[in-house]
Structure 1
């Protein structure tokens, strides 16, 4: 099964006695405008002698009415990072907790400001078995403090203001000694049943040359399940170049067969600094389409999920992908 934490007070953090990175990110999708946002609060403490540590707050906006995403980032000294019992992270005046977030970044067309709240009913999900959070490997670890909720609030971008109602909210936490070399990530929330609707979360990373391991967390009819699968993939950038990804994985007593469709113009390329001074190039969207067929191996019952322009997806690599500019 997929582990859902009993308490939202459970805390996970990197060992800060050595180099580390600590990232909280949010995906917010507004059903009224069709816009998706990616908000990110991060801290990087590089290996000694590599570079100076820093913190950052950023926002990427995916507006389907515009030709490409827009991205904005403010950098802070690590002395601006504050820890409190009520917040997951606070950088300067901007914070994220289990029930909401507020932040602001400077943009070319005016500042982007957000103030969004959501129900605390969103499950805190551990993507890996608990033992892996106590061990030194994997070097990059993932939890979901609020894997799927609905929220309300405002996002202001220059002269534009968006009043959010029943927006889809996803909060993730990635931390550790260093970033994975490459990864694939997918988040889908079928909110047709409300905040407690079906959820599909996938994270995959290479374990050998051309061999990837996939971890799938599935919530179906209120029940959480976890699935594992190995698959072959030589060039993950082919997913971006072909504009789609077909995947199959088992989760509990279910078989999940999905196809993700990407709009290349709505893929944002961003660069990550790693603790050893190397770079990762992440190609992310929050407005992908997804069709999923879920088959019960017990009674052969089928569930089909169709989502348009609200699925999160990214491919991250140690190299740039031709034709997709790095905008942040």
Structure 2
């Protein structure tokens, strides 16, 4: 499935929250390969089923790898739901949203949040790349009503220029590669792993025109939690592959853990073997609240490594590498005992 009507940032909670609760997320991440720094931002809406909690929240995590250690600074602020103001627009058009003093648009984001120990501020210009977006949910499952949640990457490739501040220290970003996604629905899935990279180099060490975006998620059907369903987006130069049908899911051999993600699959006579590796010290754990009041724990790094080996239809085999520039998240119903919960 190529770009479709669901791949946009237009808010859903205003019309779809109804009586059953709702959660909605706009998130972005960017990496600076030259400095081993990364930034993750998250604008969220949470409306509990029983309406006991209706809030808008803004989250930030700054990552920096230096001299063998990874620094992680995290902050979150919670506001009343009416602090979220969306710019009026026609259907499926997004003109930006503001939560208190924090703004997210498709061409700029800025804001500042703090907790007891950490203040994070940012002002970033956003330039979209040529790559479009991706709908992770197989169209057949959505049409059958088996999946009610939205899970899309709106922009697979962006460039961020500006700065972020962590306490009193300012860090500059110049055309830093990044992406932006949008999630929404009456309740979160049971658990999932997600990864993204647009900072690959080829065998010669030159920047590669390759983007990889993957989600392996377990849904909830009543009291049943079936095996994970995997969906991916891969762009190689001018070739864009959407691996998001039920048949695509059946072709994946995929295993996700806190150590990383290994997968093999085929599409359009291409063969892929991916090997993502992560270190526990690089993760930051944050707590997500679901619409039923239960918690999920997002173990989040933007500094993972990855190799993606691509065999073309002509049999040409190319190995692409990312060192410390791959995003990887493992979301579970219990926190990992060796990863500190920062939020």
TM over 0.5, shorter chain: yes
Would the aligned equivalents of 1:139 and 1:180 in 2 still touch at CA under 8 Å? no
* TM-score normalised by structure 2 residue count: 0.84
Tell me the matched-pair count: 320
Give the CA RMSD over aligned residues.
Answer: 2.8
Match of 2:321 among 306, 320, 323: 306
Select which of 94, 98, 108 maps to 1:100. 108
1:255 is displaced (CA, Å) by 1.7
SS in 2 for 1:299: coil
Q: Are 1:200 and 2:212 an aligned pair?
A: yes
Name the stretch that deviates more: 214-223 or 138-147: 138-147
- CA distance in structure 1 between the aligned counterparts of 2:269 and 2:235, rounded to whole angstroms: 12
Once the two structures are TM-superposed, the CA of residue 245 in structure 1 deviates from its matched residue by: 2.5
- TM-score, with length taken from structure 1: 0.88
Is 1:80 aligned to 2:80, yes or no?
no
Q: Which runs of 5+ in 1 are unaligned?
A: none
Residues 1:52 and 2:67 aligned together:
no
- Please name the residue that 1:250 is paired with: 266
> Are 2:138 and 1:123 equivalent residues in the alignment?
no
**Residue in structure 2 matched with residue 17 of structure 1 by the alignment:** 18
Match of residue 307 from structure 2: 291
Alpha-carbon distance in 2 for matches of 1:52, 1:209: 26
Q: What residue is the counterpart of 2:238 in the other structure? A: 222
> Aligned partners of 1:13, 1:265: CA distance in 2, in Å?
36
Cα distance, 1:195–1:20 mapped onto 2, change above 3 Å:
farther
Secondary structure of 2:124's counterpart equals strand
| Aligned CA distance change for structure 1 residues 178 and 185 (closer, same or farther; 3 Å) | same
**Using a 3 Å threshold, how does the CA distance of structure 1 residues 149 and 273 change in structure 2: closer, same or farther?**
same
- Could you give the per-residue CA deviations for residues 261-316 of structure 1, whole angstroms, max 9, x where no partner exists? 112111011111000111111111101000110112x2112232100111001111
Distance in 2 between the 1:102 and 1:119 partners? 14
Gapped runs of 5+ residues in structure 2?
A: none
Q: Which of these residues, 177, 186, 199, is aligned with residue 168 of structure 1?
A: 177
Mean Cα deviation higher: 212-221 or 66-75: 66-75
Matched residues in 1 for 2:138 and 2:228: separation?
A: 18
1:278 and 2:294 equivalent? Answer: yes
Q: Distance in 1 between matches of 2:285 and 2:305?
A: 19
| Range that drifts further, 274-283 or 130-139 | 130-139
Cα distance in 2, alignment partners of residues 212 and 141 from structure 1: 17
